[in-house]
Structure 1
Amino acid sequence: MPPLILASTSRYRQELLARLRLPFEAIAPDVDETALPGEAPAALAERLALAKARAVAARFPGAVVIGSDQVADLDGEAIGKPGTHDAAAQQLRRMSGRAAVFQTAVAIVAPGLAAIERAEVRVRLRVLNDAAIEAYLLADQPYDCAGSAKVESLGIALLDAVESDDPTALIGLPLIRTCALLRRAGLEPLA
């Protein structure tokens, strides 16, 4: 079996990939994640997922490398990781009572293969007051999460609905699509 590498330092993606019970190594991809002028959120997620996989694959020929990226999309505008408490509060206020689409792309680069898939997750946030936003942010501190919410944790209490055909996509790695790409690269999670 060729080495499997996750081109990511995200603990969320590492936890998700570990569910497949395939041995892998996580390596930082060292990719500039700045959006290009006018770049749509879905295109940004796809470009970055493939760039991350290619960057690590260039350093590890013969490996199967997974790259992934997620961009929150609010009315066509990319909403990134907030980084701070104040920025997270501002993001949640903007998204309160509205729908956002999380664009999550996964790419695989292996000898003779470069492929990408994307999953969309539509999330409807309930109407949030400042007290609820503050309580949530203090409890979960989701400052490293696109859209300022951890659906796998207390962030689920912020939502009215989640619609997706790949349930782990909202956490950062669409495992249904990842399994399909792994099979294309000759790795079967159930082998």
Structure 2
Amino acid sequence: MESDLALFRRRLLRNPRQVSAIAPSSRTLARAMTLGIGPNTGRVVEFGPGTGRFTEAILARGLPPENLTLFELDEEFVTYLRARFPGVTVHQAGAETAPQVMEGGVSTVVSGLPLLSMPEEIRDAIVSAAFAVLAPRGSYVQFTYGPRPPLPPETIAALGLRVNKGHKIWANLPPARVYRFRRA
């Protein structure tokens, strides 16, 4: 099987707007994104897993593979993820389709999607989909490279969310910050 770095680089060169990162997420960022997930977490969804760095960290925390569902657009990433993570459900579909293909009641949605580089209507559809499948006390976890939250204040207010700003992850290229969103 091709290495995740080689696959990442090849997909980045072929479709830089879709990959939208200069390097795969670091293991340190993956640990920060998956904090609080464990064997008894319940169902978890990941948006935009790419080569599976966060997927790997989620499973390393003890989540059973059958409790993890991935949404990935890129066909080559989907093929790679299905081979690398048996037992995990992988949909070749946009994150905004999650409510149409799965039941609600999810405990956590982990997102590696570049929300700030997306058109507003797509970003809003993705975040709305996350909260449509999340349980009432569920959390949406998203990172960003910038100095502000990955959702604009008006979206946070319109969805009635509260935000927990995590630590800066310096051991990532570029450095990133993790945010957790919950219903207020």
Larger Rg: 1
TM-score, structure 2 as length reference: 0.30
TM-score, structure 1 as length reference: 0.29
- Work out which structure has the larger RCO, using CA pairs closer than 8 Å and 6 or more positions apart in sequence: 1
